[in-house]
Amino acid sequence: MPGTTEQNAVEKMESPQYAEENQQLVKELFRYDRQLKLLGREGQRKLKEATVLVAGIGGLGGTAALYLAAAGIGKLILAHEGIIQLPDLNRQILMDSARVGEERMAAAEESLKRVNPEVIIEGHNARITLAESGSWVRAADIVIDARYDFPERYALNHLCVTAGKPMVEAAMYGFEVSLTTIVPGATPCLACLYPERPQEWEPLGFPVLGATSGLAGCLAALEAVKWITGVGRPFINVMHRFNTLNMSNYVVSLRSNPDCVCCKNV
């Protein structure tokens, strides 16, 4: 004869599995105690169940990934090619001086796991391409574009538009930070904003101060947290520009290009 509902509940509470799950819950509540006052338990649950693709884990993307991991994001998908080089270390906080010459992605994964061992990390030692990166975008709830060159940014924009995934478009140059969140079908896409790649752009030659790229990364992480939890209002249909030298800022209204080759049919 099956037990009563009350008996079943008692047996469940006394089971080792329940004790382990309860212990994990207590641990999570304690870890995120300070931000639960802002996001609530429902917001924290949404973070735990969410997946974020961070394209580029340099000074901007690495900072964004770090704070997403610290906030309790469930899964991070990371993409960045190559090895650690000495000039990276003025800004790339996931890297390590002792590992110069080693693969960048392995160092990043270890750094993030030290911050929060609960986060699931899927790392790809690769660039963003139309051929290879589509599944990463489709698996994410939101994407952070932190790539340093325009071809990859355009490819990521195309993949996000095709998959209908929101993309935080974060960038910095010198002492200036730019930020907007692109939502396919609701906002202009990157190709609307920049129809052609600037001819003078040198992806590995522009000036970078770590504090500026870190600020951009923090803002990008905050945009992702806002989108996932529903707290606050993301920067959609506007671009925020912030000059760190004199603390001036302004917001530019954005409009879709009806002839955009990427999103006009969305």
What are the tens digits of pLDDT across the range 102-136?
999 999 999 999 999 999 999 999 999 999 999 99
70-88 average pLDDT score: 96
Q: How far apart are CA 12 and CA 171, in angstroms?
A: 50
Based on the fold, state whether residues 101 and 222 are members of the same structural domain: yes
Q: For residue 106, tell me if it sits in a domain.
A: yes
- Range of 9's domain? 1-31
Q: For residue 198, tell me if it sits in a domain.
A: yes
Q: For residue 5, tell me if it sits in a domain.
A: yes
pLDDT of residue 1: 47
Residue with tokens 């529903």: 230
Could you tell me if 203 and 197 are in contact, meaning their C-beta atoms sit under 8 angstroms apart? no
228-232 average pLDDT score: 97
* Mean of the per-residue pLDDT values of the chain: 91
pLDDT at 146 over 60: yes
Q: Which pLDDT band, with edges at 50, 70 and 90, does 13 fall under?
A: very low
pLDDT of residue 150: 87
pLDDT of residue 6: 55
Give Dmax over CA atoms of the chain in angstroms.
79
pTM of the model: 0.90
Based on the fold, state whether residues 226 and 162 are members of the same structural domain: yes
Q: For residue 55, tell me if it sits in a domain.
A: yes
Q: Which class for 163: exposed (0-12), middle (13-18), buried (19 or more C-beta within 10 A)?
A: middle
Q: For residue 263, tell me if it sits in a domain.
A: no
Identity of residue 258: P
Q: Which pLDDT band, with edges at 50, 70 and 90, does 195 fall under?
A: confident
CA angle 57, 62, 64 (to 5 degrees): 120
Q: How far apart are CA 65 and CA 167, in angstroms?
A: 15
pLDDT of residue 24: 84
Based on the fold, state whether residues 49 and 86 are members of the same structural domain: yes
Based on the fold, state whether residues 196 and 99 are members of the same structural domain: yes
Q: For residue 260, tell me if it sits in a domain.
A: no
Q: Which class for 104: exposed (0-12), middle (13-18), buried (19 or more C-beta within 10 A)?
A: buried
Based on the fold, state whether residues 21 and 48 are members of the same structural domain: no
